[in-house]
Amino acid sequence: IAGITQAPTSQILAAGRRMTLRCTQDMRHNAMYWYRQDLGLGLRLIHYSNTAGTTGKGEVPDGYSVSRANTDDFPLTLASAVPSQTSVYFCASRDGTGGNTEAFFGQGTRLTVV
Amino acid sequence: GEDVEQSLFLSVREGDSSVINCTYTDSSSTYLYWYKQEPGAGLQLLTYIFSNMDMKQDQRLTVLLNKKDKHLSLRIADTQTGDSAIYFCAESKGSSNTGKLIFGQGTTLQVKP
């Protein structure tokens, strides 16, 4: 079944540790996104990628990095986790950057930094 | 700017109409979207409108766009308990060098029987 998959589903992480959240899509979508969802703040864009080999900063990029080595994968790395990065993280993808296509979302990764 | 603003909460009775409002600041936005999030799930697209349209209707959903005021609304007719969810407004700039998809804070819709 085509779609977008995130892993892990949830994680408890000690502060200072490094963590990579995985995101894979098999729809051959060009654009991919990482958001964090926090109560009262909605979804805030962390990083995005318009196509393989390119990435861009979103609204809240500090403390996060991404890479886009190929079309399918868009991992998000927390180099040294802090408690304020406790959140639910969503990965999304869509067909292009023209704005006229639906974004498909993964089921989310619930991350707790202690 | 890239701010998208929504009120946080709306409560209606089953069978009534719901109107969820959104304002955005970037006049270059070409597409505006409404997404729905049910508890414990990701977001699903409900509908979208292109910036050269004023209105779009899709069954029980009506989207109104006032581009002059940068105001977007979603009307749900005959609201049902199954419509209880968080509704997100989003804007897409449609520009080839950005591709950003920016969301508002989300409006929690509570439908009372």
Alpha carbon of B28: minimum distance to chain A alpha carbons (Å): 12
Look at residue B52 in the predicted model and tell me its pLDDT: 84
Beta carbons of B28 and B95 less than 8 angstroms apart = yes
Cβ contact, residue pair B98, A56, below 8 Å: yes
The pLDDT of residue A40 = 82
Q: Which of A45, A50, A90 sits opposite B102 (nearest CB)?
A: A45
A103 and B101 within 8 Å at the Cβ level: the answer is: yes
Question: Computed from CA positions of residues A49, A54, A60, A61, in that sequence, does the dihedral angle turn out positive or negative?
Answer: positive
Cβ within 8 Å, pair B100-A56: yes
A112 — pLDDT class (breaks 50, 70, 90)? very high
Q: Is A54 on the interface with B (CB under 8 A)?
A: no
The reported pLDDT for the residue numbered A106 is 93
Tell me how close the Cα of B10 comes to any Cα of chain A, in angstroms: 14
Mean pLDDT of all residues in chain B? 89
Q: How far apart are alpha carbons B39 and A50 in whole angstroms?
A: 29
**Which residues of chain B are at the A interface, by a Cβ-Cβ cutoff of 8 Å?**
2, 4, 6, 8, 30-31, 33, 41-45, 48, 50, 88, 92-96, 98-106
Mean pLDDT of A65-75: 97
Chain-chain contact of B101 with A94 (C-beta, under 8 angstroms): yes
Mean pLDDT of A65-93: 97
Contact call for A107 and B6, based on CB within 8 A: no
Q: Is B64 helix (H, G, I), strand (E, B) or coil?
A: strand
Q: How does pLDDT run across A26-65, given as a tens digit for each residue? A: 999 999 999 999 988 889 999 999 899 999 999 999 999 9
Distance CA B65, CA B50 (A): 9
- pLDDT, greater one: A1 or B51: B51
B90 vs B94: CA distance, rounded Å: 12
Among the partner residues A40, A90, A105, nearest to B105 by beta-carbon distance? A40
- Share of residues in chain A with pLDDT > 70 (%): 94
- Stretches where chain B sits below pLDDT 70 are 1-2, 93-99
Q: What is the pLDDT of residue A96?
A: 67
Q: Note the pLDDT of residue B97.
A: 42
